[in-house]
Amino acid sequence: MRLILIGPPGVGKGTQAALLESRLGLKPLSSGVIFRSEIDADTDLGHLANSYIKRGELVPNGVTIEMMAKRIRSEEVRKAGFILDGFPRTIRQAEALDTMLLEMAMPLDKVISIEVDDDVVISRLSGRMGCTKCGEIYHSINKPPKREGYCDKCNSPLFVRSDDQPETIRERLRVFRENTAPVRDHYQALGLLEVVDGSQDPEAVYEAIVDGVGI
Ligand code: AP5
Ligand code: MG
């Protein structure tokens, strides 16, 4: 199965990718998660990415496409399929992905667009926390950890993302509308798009995705 999850910041892409992985064994590939691990590892790519991410801007297409292409072309991903979360985010990235998948004879099954209003996104991102070790995603109101500040699954400390500040969130929403909304339209024109209402609780969103994909 080869899926793309597309949607504004904070709509729940990472939450749904984790559910699809744990329940169906699909392999999530999140460009944001990969960039953050490069930042943590203090690599050159991490330094470059951080200078854009902290402002809510997109990392340049060239390095982003190269980073994702390496993983998509890997033996493991060829065999297991993927759920792309956060990529492609520009028309140039979408066209590069389409070409790559055509060359590999690995067509996409579906592109799931998760959609909610901006005010929901802002409240979700304002309370988000993530696990420093396993990446589990929490929310201070919608999904609080059992022990404050620590992960339920692996007991490691939780952290707040540096781009989850009100001004950066507004900029990420603007960047989404300008650059990523056209990607949604691109896949709609190709007949691959399924729209899911992201304002429901995570279980209901999951069911809608599974229904939309037909699995
Ligand atoms: P990225 O990491 O992709 O961030 P994003 O797209 O802004 O999305 P988020 O991760 O913030 O939200 P999400 O949709 O995963 O929501 P989540 O499940 O966490 O990208 C970060 C940055 O990296 C970009 O700004 C850019 O700079 C750079 N970048 C990444 N990819 C790039 C690319 N391809 N090209 C160029 N630059 C790139 O949920 C959010 C919160 O809501 C959580 O607290 C969760 O518990 C809660 N929640 C989730 N679902 C529900 C629900 N149904 N009901 C109630 N609460 C919910
Ligand atoms: Mg995410």
* pLDDT tens readout for residues 36-55: 999 999 999 999 999 999 99
How much distance in Å is there from the Cα of 163 to the middle of ligand 2?
11
* Residues bordering ligand 2, an ion, CB closer than 5 Å: 14
46 pocket-lining for ligand 1 (C-beta < 6 Å):
no
Determine whether 121 is exposed, middle or buried from the number of CB atoms within 10 Å of its CB (0-12, 13-18, 19+).
buried
What's the mean pLDDT in 119-132? 94
How much distance in Å is there from the Cα of 101 to the middle of ligand 1?
24
pLDDT at 215: 81
Q: Which stretches within the chain are classed as H helix?
A: 13-24, 31-40, 44-53, 61-72, 75-80, 91-103, 118-126, 166-175, 181-189, 202-213
- Report residue 76 as tokens: 């493991």
How much distance in Å is there from the Cα of 164 to the middle of ligand 1?
10
Task: Report residue 192's pLDDT band, with 50, 70 and 90 as the boundaries.
Answer: very high
* Domain edges within the chain: 2-115+168-207
Task: Report residue 8's pLDDT band, with 50, 70 and 90 as the boundaries.
Answer: very high
Tell which atom from ligand 1 comes closest to the C-alpha of 68. Answer: 34
64 pocket-lining for ligand 1 (C-beta < 6 Å):
yes
CATH number of 2-115+168-207: 3.40.50.300
Q: Is 162 helix (H, G, I), strand (E, B) or coil?
A: coil
What's the mean pLDDT in 103-110? 96
Question: Is the pLDDT at 186 greater than 90, yes or no?
Answer: yes
Return the active site residues.
Answer: 13, 89, 128, 161, 172
Percent above pLDDT 70 for the chain: 100
Q: Give a three-class secondary structure readout of 45-94.
A: HHHHHHHHHCCCCCCCHHHHHHHHHHHHCCHHHHHHCEEEECCCCCHHHH
**What pTM does this model have?**
0.96
- Ligand index nearest the alpha carbon of residue 16: 1
Cα torsion at 63, 35, 45, 71 (round to 10°)? Answer: -60
Question: Is the pLDDT at 214 greater than 90, yes or no?
Answer: no
